[in-house]
Each structure stands twice: as structure tokens, then as C-alpha cells.
Amino acid sequence: MAAPPILLLQDIRLGFGTTPLLSGATLSVSQGERLALIGRNGSGKSTLLKIAAGLTQPDGGSRFVQPGATLRYLEQEPDLSGFPNVLAYVEAGLTAGDDPYRAHYLLEQLGLTGEEKPASLSGGEGRRAALARALAPSPDILLLDEPTNHLDLPAIEWLEGEIGAMRSALVLISHDRRFLQSMTREMVWLDRGTTRRLARGFAHFEEWRDEVLEQEEREAHKLDRQIAREEDWMRYGVTARRKRNVRRVAELAGLRQQRRERRAAQGGVKMAVAEGEASGTLVAMADGIGKSYDGRAVVRDFSTRIIRGDRVGIVGPNGAGKTTLLSMLTGVLKPDSGEVKLGTNLEMVTLDQKREALDPALGVAETLTGKRGDQVWVNGQPRHVIGYMKDFLFLPEQARTPVSALSGGERGRLLLARAFATPSNQLVLDEPTNDLDLETLDLLQEQIADYAGTVIVVSHDRDFLDRVCTNVIAWEGEGRWQDYPGGYSDMVAQRGHGVRARAEAAKPVAPRASAAPAAAGSAPARKKLSFKDQHELDTLPARMRKLEAEAAKLREILADPGLYARDRARFDKASEMLARSEASLAEAEERWLELEMLREEAEG
């Protein structure tokens, strides 16, 4: 016999405007259950969790909490006002008999001292304080809304262990697939206002969802066919018999009403990245770069090469310098030492984690068009802004909605929509997965996989890194960074551990043993560059600069819109010369890269 629920929501109904947000949703939580609450952005997940916490009153339905049961809720935007410091805020969540030391322990684990003033906290610090308050009393029921947002990888893995050791029942909203898989054992899918439950882990969600939607399509098709048969009877059968069958007429009216009330599955996000001209083979090369702030080395003697088509992930704890390293590799920030060489013909589009590129006063349509008319240009083709908005799940009536009124997920989708409409051959993504729902994440991953250019991504999402990255640059402590082939799991397999917190950073990593170590007492033989190769290496940079200048001049000539009609011969000649220059440049870059690798091998 199933254990009685300690939290029960039945037939929850809530509406904003004409379309109901919740229309008969249910949620049952028994002692020790671990539930994943899944649904698209805007489906009402956070609202249902607020109703479960008793913070929002529904229009209809009932809420029951077992008497004496303790419940704690982590909201996305906690309010710490009215408390002198963070510790007082966390301790206010404790109940009689709770261990007061636990508040200090949780704050320390989450990178806070407790002395911070609420007014001076960043959004991420406020979320971590709220997480400490929710966990401190070890409640009977934990309701967590996106607990991994603003947490780095060490904190996420610590949180997995902390919640795993608790006896609390759990209802979890998260976009982090790996976190959902490890933390939950059952799923509640909120879709079009109602809930469905499956007593299996998150790994089975997509297969189950697709089966449900396919069954709905079959039932909708049967309903349409039945209506068509009844309408045919109405047109011909009634006239022939000169007598109406009142019951069948009423049934037809009921079928039509059923079809009107049927809420079809919401369309999917449609992303298409506007790709620019191909960049050179070499995108960026860092040679012994370093950067320090206030005497602390953030990057120390780091070298790497990024080749066209690479998908590079950068991982490390908060404060390690991920954004600093990213800025140096993209030419935004100059290193204190060493050198960064950028490739040719780079067209970079950046997605920043703070969404600072969005003007909060502009509407959705103005943000996408740049306040220029009502069209968006994607891959050289004009699109009406309303149609393009629909591709990213925005409603036509949201065209004038200001950015400041959008949810975090909507701002993320808007930033993606604007970035993907800009021609590029290099995408720079700083925490792109924040606030995105699972289906949008799936499509983002597909677009990155099909993208012909280069991608550099900073992320704490382990599953996302595994799915998109060809190599991962990981923080090793004290300003050291190491490049590993493969995704996040491949990096863990090579290092023997994941990303550690700054306070627990590993000692300098010993060089990995080569496949064929040299015999004891003998120095490994190194191949030296020949005089001819060294001369070629020295002269290639000047040749590449010359070819870049030639290509730029030819592109300028071809940019004349009237050239083809005015002087066809000149247009054809310039096009042919540009193709030769670009091919020669690519060949020179390949040769330079090959010789540079030989030089480094010779110098050890």
C-alpha cells in the first residue's frame, strides 16, 4: 500500500487572461519521494511550486499538508530585505530543535561568510543564501526551483551529495539534466495546464513525452474523422428523412466543443544560426599567456590552439578566471604576458551570462529589429519580426513587451534569437543554459553541432558540455589551466576527478606519461627544424598579412552592389582573385600551424 501523501494538491486551477495557466493540475508528495517537475518555460512550474508552498492562492482546487510536516521552498528571486545580514536570514528559517551550527556550515559550503549585507548581494549570492535557508532545517519537504542556477561545478556536486544524504521529500525544477538524473526518481510533467506522472527516472522522460504526444495526435485524428462523419449525416441524412435526430445533433455539438477546447501541444522552438563567411583555419593561438589581478595569478603560462570547427568548453569554480581566459582567447582582453594571435576573417557573436546586451526599456520586436522597421534578416533573407518571434515561442502580443518584464527564460530565448540572426563564424557563449527549458537546450545543442564555425562556451552544465564539446579547458588551481580532449566526462576520466573548489584546488598536475617513455638515463631525442623550415616559419606571418590585405581589398571591390551590372568582367575577375587569395591564405595558415607545432616539439 502506498504511503499517504504529506503534501497534496488536487484539481489546481489558475488563470491569467483568457488562457488558463493551470487547469486541473495535481501533485502528490509522500515521505522520501524525489520528484522532477518538468515543463516548458511558461508552463506554470514555478507557479505550481508556489501554490505547493502556500505562497500563491489558486482560483480553484485544494491544498493539503500533513499537520506537523515542515516545508521549505527555494524561489528564484528571494527577498532578504529586513535582515541585518545573511546569517540572520538563514537562521530565521530554523525551527526549535534544529542545529544552529548547520546555518554556518551551509553558508561556508556555498561560499558565503554570513556577514554579507542583503543590499550588497549579487543575484547569485542571494540565491545561495536562500538555498542555505531552505536546507538548514532538514525539512520533511523540499521545494527547489532551479537550485543550480548561479552555482559552479564544485557547488553543484556538493549539493548533490548534501541533498542525497537528507531524508527530505523533494520536488525539483531544473534545466540541468545531470542533476535531475541523480536527484530524482519519478517525474511529474506539467503540460498545457495539467499534470501527468511517471514512476521512472528522468532518463526516460523524452521517450515517454513523445509517446504521449503521438497518442494525442492519433486521438485528435479520430475525433476529426468522427466530426466529419456526423457533419455528413447532418447534410444528407436529415434532409432525406425530413426529421432531425435530436440526440445526434447534440452529440455533434459536443464533439465540436471538445475540439474547440482541445489545447494542442505548443510548437517547438525553431532555431537557425545565420552563418557568415568561413574564417581562416586558425581561429586563435595562445602562447604562454598570463594575467594577474592584485598580485593573484588568474592565468599562468597557458598555451593552446583553437582551429576552425572546434567546440571548446571552459570549466572551473566561480572566481577562477573563466571569463578572463575567454576574453583573452577572443581578443577582448590583452594578456599581461605571452601573446594571443587571432585568425583571419572572424565574425564573432557573444551571448553573455548577465544578459547585459539587452536594453530593458526596449520591446521584444525592437530588440530583434534594432528599431529598424518590422523585419529581421536571417541568412540574407528578410523575415517578419512576428514570424521570427514565434520561432522562439514568443506570442504576437509580446511584440511590445519590454525586456524588463520578461522572465529569465524569455530573456535567454530573446538573446539567442538576436544572436542567431547575426551572421557569424564564431559563437562565444557564457553560461548559455541558464533559465532555458530542456527542449530549447536540445535545439541549441543541435544548432551548435551543425554550426560550421567555431564555438567557445563557458558552462557549469556537465551534460551540455558532454554533448557539444570537442575539448575542455579546465582550471587546475593557482592560475594553471589544462586543455583536455573530449567533453566533461572525458576530462574527469583523464584527471581522475571533476572541477574542485578554489579552496581545495589540486597541487600542480604532474605531466601525463607518454605512450613510449624514454629509457632510463637517456634524454629523449627531439627533431630540430631545418634551416629551410625555420626560414619559412619566419616569413609566413608577413605572407599571411599580405594575403589578408589582398582579400580585404577584393571584398571591398565586390561589395559594390552595382559592379555586376556595370562591369561584369571586372566582377568575375575580382571573384576569381578572391577565391585564389583565400585558398592561398588557408594553405599558408595550415603550413604555419604545422611548422609551429614542429618548433614547439623541438623546444620541448
Q: For residues 48 and 219, which has the higher predicted lDDT (pLDDT)?
A: 48
Pick from 53-62, 200-209, 238-247, 318-327: least confident: 238-247
**What pLDDT sits at residue 495?**
84
User: What is the band of 524 on the pLDDT scale with cuts at 50, 70, 90?
Assistant: very low
Tell me which amino acid residue 384 is: H
Angle, helices 101-109 vs 153-164, to 10°: value is 140
Pick from 130-134, 285-289, 350-354, 464-468: least confident: 350-354
User: What is the band of 531 on the pLDDT scale with cuts at 50, 70, 90?
Assistant: low
Tell me: pLDDT of 270 over 70.
Answer: no
Instruction: Give a three-class secondary structure readout of 166-222.
Output: CCCEEEEECCCHHHHHHHCCEEEEEECCEEEEECCCHHHHHHHHHHHHHHHHHHHHH
**What pLDDT sits at residue 41?**
75
Range among 55-59, 197-201, 580-584 rated most confident: 55-59
User: What is the band of 359 on the pLDDT scale with cuts at 50, 70, 90?
Assistant: confident
Residue 365 three-state SS: helix
For the residues of 497-517, what is the DSSP string, one character each?
A: S-PPPGGGPPPPPPPPPPSSP
Mean pLDDT of 67-91: 90
Is 479 labeled as ligand-binding? no
The average confidence (pLDDT) of the chain is 81
Query: Which residue from 41, 321, 268 is spatially nearest to 174, judged by alpha carbons?
Result: 41
Contacts of 530 (CB under 8 A, 6+ apart): none
Strand partners, 72: 142
Query: Which residue from 600, 595, 588, 597 is spatially nearest to 530, judged by alpha carbons?
Result: 595
**157 in Cβ contact with 498 (< 8 Å):** yes
Is 425 labeled as ligand-binding? no
**What pLDDT sits at residue 473?**
95
Whole-number Å distance between alpha carbons of 79 and 127: 10
Alpha helices, DSSP H, located in 458-508: 462-468, 488-495
Whole-number Å distance between alpha carbons of 59 and 54: 13
Is 174 labeled as ligand-binding? no
Tell me: pLDDT of 1 over 60.
Answer: no
Is 327 labeled as ligand-binding? no
**447 in Cβ contact with 420 (< 8 Å):** yes
**What pLDDT sits at residue 387?**
87
Whole-number Å distance between alpha carbons of 162 and 180: 14
Is 449 labeled as ligand-binding? no
The angle subtended at Cα 269 by Cα 265 and Cα 270, nearest 5°, is 125
pLDDT tens digit sequence for 140-159? 999 999 998 878 888 899 99
Give every strand in the sheet of 194-198, ordered side by side: 71-74, 141-145, 169-173, 34-38, 186-191, 194-198
Query: Which residue from 38, 6, 26, 8 is spatially nearest to 181, judged by alpha carbons?
Result: 38
Q: What is the pTM of this model?
A: 0.69
User: What is the band of 202 on the pLDDT scale with cuts at 50, 70, 90?
Assistant: confident
Tell me: pLDDT of 398 over 60.
Answer: yes
User: What is the band of 525 on the pLDDT scale with cuts at 50, 70, 90?
Assistant: very low
Is 39 labeled as ligand-binding? yes
Pick from 106-120, 259-273, 323-337, 346-360: least confident: 259-273
Mean pLDDT of 360-378: 85
Contacts of 432 (CB under 8 A, 6+ apart): 351, 353, 412, 416, 444, 457, 459
Tell me: pLDDT of 63 over 90.
Answer: yes
User: What is the band of 255 on the pLDDT scale with cuts at 50, 70, 90?
Assistant: low
Whole-number Å distance between alpha carbons of 229 and 248: 11
Tell me: pLDDT of 264 over 80.
Answer: no
**What pLDDT sits at residue 30?**
94
Q: For residues 589 and 162, which has the higher predicted lDDT (pLDDT)?
A: 162
Is 111 labeled as ligand-binding? no
**What pLDDT sits at residue 233?**
58
Alpha helices, DSSP H, located in 22-122: 45-52, 86-91, 101-109
Mean pLDDT of 369-373: 83
**What pLDDT sits at residue 497?**
82
Whole-number Å distance between alpha carbons of 214 and 220: 10
Tell me which amino acid residue 51 is: I
Query: Which residue from 447, 148, 464 is spatially nearest to 313, judged by alpha carbons?
Result: 464
Is 40 labeled as ligand-binding? yes
User: What is the band of 50 on the pLDDT scale with cuts at 50, 70, 90?
Assistant: very high
Whole-number Å distance between alpha carbons of 571 and 581: 15
515, burial (CB in 10 Å: exposed 0-12, middle 13-18, buried 19+): exposed
Is 42 labeled as ligand-binding? yes
φ, ψ of residue 338 in degrees (nearest 5):
80, -170
> Which pairing describes strands 60-65 and 141-145: parallel, antiparallel, or unpaired?
unpaired
Q: Scanning the structure block, which residue is given the C-alpha cell 589582398?
A: 550
**What pLDDT sits at residue 521?**
42
Q: For residues 599 and 354, which has the higher predicted lDDT (pLDDT)?
A: 599
Q: Rounded to 5, what percent of the chain is helix, strand, coil?
A: 40, 20, 35
Q: For residues 411 and 114, which has the higher predicted lDDT (pLDDT)?
A: 114
Q: For residues 272 and 387, which has the higher predicted lDDT (pLDDT)?
A: 387
> Which pairing describes strands 471-477 and 480-485: parallel, antiparallel, or unpaired?
antiparallel
**What pLDDT sits at residue 583?**
77
Is 319 labeled as ligand-binding? yes
Mean pLDDT of 352-364: 75
Contacts of 121 (CB under 8 A, 6+ apart): 80, 86, 129
Mean pLDDT of 398-420: 81
**78 in Cβ contact with 86 (< 8 Å):** no
Q: Chain-centre distance of CA 466, in angstroms?
A: 13
For the residues of 527-551, what is the DSSP string, one character each?
A: PPPPHHHHHHHHHHHHHHHHHHHHH
Is 85 labeled as ligand-binding? no
Is 323 labeled as ligand-binding? yes
Is 43 labeled as ligand-binding? yes
**What pLDDT sits at residue 240?**
43
Contacts of 61 (CB under 8 A, 6+ apart): 9, 10, 11, 12, 13, 24, 25
Tell me: pLDDT of 256 over 60.
Answer: no
Q: Is the dihedral of CA 462, 201, 441, 425 positive or negative?
A: positive
Tell me: pLDDT of 505 over 70.
Answer: no
Task: Tell me how far apart the 2 most distant CA atoms of the chain are, in Å.
Answer: 109
**330 in Cβ contact with 348 (< 8 Å):** yes
Strand partners, 15: 20
What element of type H or E holds 107?
Answer: helix 101-109
% of the chain surpassing 90 pLDDT: 29
pLDDT tens digit sequence for 175-195? 888 999 999 999 999 988 889
**38 in Cβ contact with 205 (< 8 Å):** yes
Pick from 47-51, 516-520, 525-529, 568-572: least confident: 516-520
